[in-house]
Structure 1
Amino acid sequence: MDPKTAKPVMMRFGAIISEKRKLLRMSQEELAERVGISQESLSRMEKGVIAPRFERLQLFAEALECSIADLFRGEEEAGECAYTIERLLSPLPRQAQEEIVGIVATVARLAAPR
């Protein structure tokens, strides 16, 4: 892959795994342990500095309760969903936001393909 093409893909992958990890209220240490890498490597992946090995993609998908395709979805899709969620939650008190995020995380776990 051309380095000019690879960097945006790595950045998008990093942003998506960071977003999904936070939605599941998972620490970097916990996710790193689940996929068998160091916390430092995960941090570098989330920043788009390095890419995961191909064989780790399924481990990321399982740990983040999504498909491998979800780890590479387009920025427009991710941005649109994030914007909608932010718009709906921002007027609510912080505690209500946290409770709703917990409910959504539970529903996402239940709806995830097994």
Structure 2
Amino acid sequence: MPKTEVERLAAGVSRAIAKRRAACELTQEQVAERLGIGVEAVSRIERGVVLPTVVRLGELADIFECNIADLLTEVSSRATDQANHIARLLSKLGSADRAMVVEIIEKLTARLGDLDR
């Protein structure tokens, strides 16, 4: 994998981890304590300086009560992963709000598709 791709992946995973930590209302100190590592190590992961191992991703997923895939698919450039991420976001909404979001996405894709021509 080219270095720039690894850097992009690390940056995306770091954002997903930071977002999940904040959503769980945990501090970096609390996450570090649960992982048995220093706060600086958690900070380096969240800044994308260090790409966590699969084992560490599993530990983080346990702390955040999500799947490892959730931490990875949020940053994936694969259309199916992005669709799954959108589906998870939509599942948190009521039917009227889901319909509104789908309508917005339809309009955006039509508009952006026209721009690509």
Q: Percent identity?
A: 32
- What are the ranges of 5 or more consecutive residues in structure 2 without an aligned counterpart? 98-117
Any idea what the Cα deviations from partners look like across 1:15-69, whole Å, max 9, x if unmatched? 0110110111100011112122211011111111111123212101100110000
The TM-score normalised by the length of structure 1 is 0.63
Structure 1 partner of 2:27: 27
The TM-score normalised by the length of structure 2 is 0.61
Structure index of larger Rg: 2
**In structure 1, distance between residues paired with 2:13 and 2:35:** 15
Higher relative contact order (CA 8 A, sep 6+): 1
**In structure 2, distance between residues paired with 1:46 and 1:73:** 16
Q: Which moved more, 1:64-73 or 1:49-58?
A: 49-58
TM-aligned CA distance change 1:23 to 1:74, over 3 Å: closer
Check the 8 A contact 2:16/2:74 in 1, yes or no. Answer: no
**In structure 2, distance between residues paired with 1:30 and 1:41:** 12
Structure 1 partner of 2:15: 15
**In structure 2, distance between residues paired with 1:36 and 1:59:** 11
- What are the ranges of 5 or more consecutive residues in structure 1 without an aligned counterpart? 89-114
